[in-house]
């Protein structure tokens, strides 16, 4: 009886797996093809002096590609120095664009949420920047930040007597980074606004009414009712925005291309240049792995620090 019971259970389990496997197989095949295999191949490339030429040998070099990112990191002109400049710019992008998008997106979402009419119109207006083509927006930013006195930004600042002569915004290290940060915030805060407007609809009006009875003003309601109720949404946005800021590429590639002398470079652009301009695929793969580990570790630490889900 026991053997028959096991056989029956096995056949039942097999039928269940047979029923669900066709639905899982498509996603599983796509995951293996486009996620798992590239990750394994990337690790292999990072440990070799890889060449894309057919029939060429790929000698194993161990951790040499990783060491290269640390040797001479404070010496100008070395690979490690440019690596850490790019990494610094990524960290600065996180520190500037993530709070910028969160705060601006939340404020706009709260204002739209409190409107009596025309909510969808304003949502579309602010979301247009998100769906605009990157090349189009980059060309607009390149035009308004031109280095001559006829550009929009320089013209306005000179008329207001903030500056005395035109600024070459995209040709200097910190002004170039500033334009990239403004670009990123303007392009992305509309998505944050949409997510927050959806989250605000889930906050019960009873909480606001109870806070009003307790004598809370508008700011008290915002900090003690609204923010705690959308904590989970904020965590979700925070993780995604950090990942996005660590993967900045198009802004730099279209606006500054890392100039001057790589000081506005970011990790993705640095990796792209090393791989497809200098054909140093092993070193580029090692840099990509280190960045991926950093982003993953940061996300896990942030999740633990915020104690997400423990007090929901």
145 touches 170 (CB < 8 A): yes
List of long-range contacts for 298-301, beta carbons under 8 Å, 24+ apart: 298/242, 299/239, 299/242, 299/243
Nearest-angstrom CA–CA distance, 255 and 217: 45
Helix (H) or strand (E) run with residue 122 in it: helix 119-131
Residue with tokens 């039942």: 12
48, β-bridge pairs: 60
pLDDT at 151: 86
pLDDT at site 148: 86
119-128 contacts at long range (C-beta below 8 A, 24 or more positions apart):
119/197, 123/193, 123/194, 123/197, 126/189, 126/190, 126/193, 127/190, 127/191, 127/193, 127/194, 128/190
Of 4-18, 41-55, 204-218, which gets the smallest average pLDDT? Answer: 4-18
pLDDT beyond 60 at 309: no
The model's confidence at residue 218, banded by pLDDT at 50, 70 and 90, is confident
How many whole angstroms separate alpha carbon 167 and alpha carbon 174? 12
pLDDT over 50 (residue 138): yes
Q: Per the structure block, which two tokens stand in for 76? A: 């100008």
- pLDDT-derived band at 301, boundaries 50, 70, 90: confident
Q: Could you read off the pLDDT of 48-94 as tens digits, one per residue?
A: 999 888 878 889 999 999 999 888 777 887 888 999 999 999 999 99
Between CA 214 and CA 38 the distance in angstroms is 57
Per-residue model confidence as pLDDT tens digits over 22-36: 888 888 899 999 999
> What does the pLDDT read at residue 1?
43
The residues, any chain, with a CB within 8 Å of residue 182's CB and separated by 6 or more, are 141
- Decide if 88 contacts 95 (C-beta within 8 A): no
Q: Please, is 285 exposed, middle or buried when counting C-beta atoms within 10 Å of its C-beta (0-12, 13-18, 19+)?
A: buried
Residue of 288, 191, 192, 280 whose CA lies nearest to 246: 288
**Cβ–Cβ under 8 Å, residues 194 and 127:** yes
Query: Rounded to the nearest 5°, which phi and psi values hold at 48?
Result: -130, 165
Q: What is the chain's length?
A: 312
Q: Which domains does the chain have, with CATH numbers?
A: 82-306 (1.10.3720.10)
The pLDDT of residue 4 is 58
Please give the pLDDT value at position 312: 46
């Amino acid at each position: 009886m026991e053997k028959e019971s096991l056989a029956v259970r096995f056949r039942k389990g097999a039928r269940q797996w047979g029923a669900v496997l066709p639905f899982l197989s498509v996603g599983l095949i796509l995951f293996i093809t486009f996620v798992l295999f590239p990750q394994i191949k990337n690790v292999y490339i990072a440990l070799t002096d890889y060449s894309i030429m057919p029939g060429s040998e790929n000698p194993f070099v161990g951790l040499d590609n990783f060491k290269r990112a640390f040797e001479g990191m404070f010496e100008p002109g070395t690979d490690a120095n440019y690596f850490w400049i790019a990494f610094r710019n990524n960290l600065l992008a996180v520190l500037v664009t993530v709070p910028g998008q969160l705060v601006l997106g939340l404020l706009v979402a709260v204002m739209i949420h409190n409107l009596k009419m025309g909510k969808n119109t304003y949502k579309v207006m602010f979301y247009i920047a998100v769906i605009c083509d990157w090349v189009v927006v980059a060309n607009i930013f390149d035009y308004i930040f031109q280095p001559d006195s006829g550009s929009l930004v320089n013209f306005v600042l000179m008329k207001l007597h903030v500056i005395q002569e035109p600024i070459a915004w995209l040709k200097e290290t910190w002004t170039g980074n500033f334009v990239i940060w403004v670009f990123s915030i303007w392009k992305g805060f509309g998505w944050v606004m949409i997510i927050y407007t959806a989250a605000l609809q889930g906050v019960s009006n009873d909480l606001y009414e109870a806070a009003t009875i307790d004598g809370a003003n508008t700011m008290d309601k915002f900090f003690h009712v609204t923010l705690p109720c959308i904590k989970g949404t904020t965590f979700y946005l925070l993780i995604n925005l950090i990942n996005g800021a660590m993967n900045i590429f198009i802004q730099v590639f279209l606006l500054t291309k890392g100039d001057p002398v790589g000081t506005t470079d970011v990790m993705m652009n640095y990796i792209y240049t090393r791989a497809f301009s200098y054909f140093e695929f092993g070193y580029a793969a090692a840099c990509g792995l280190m960045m991926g580990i950093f982003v993953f570790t940061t996300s896990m630490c942030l999740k633990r620090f915020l104690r997400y889900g423990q007090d929901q």
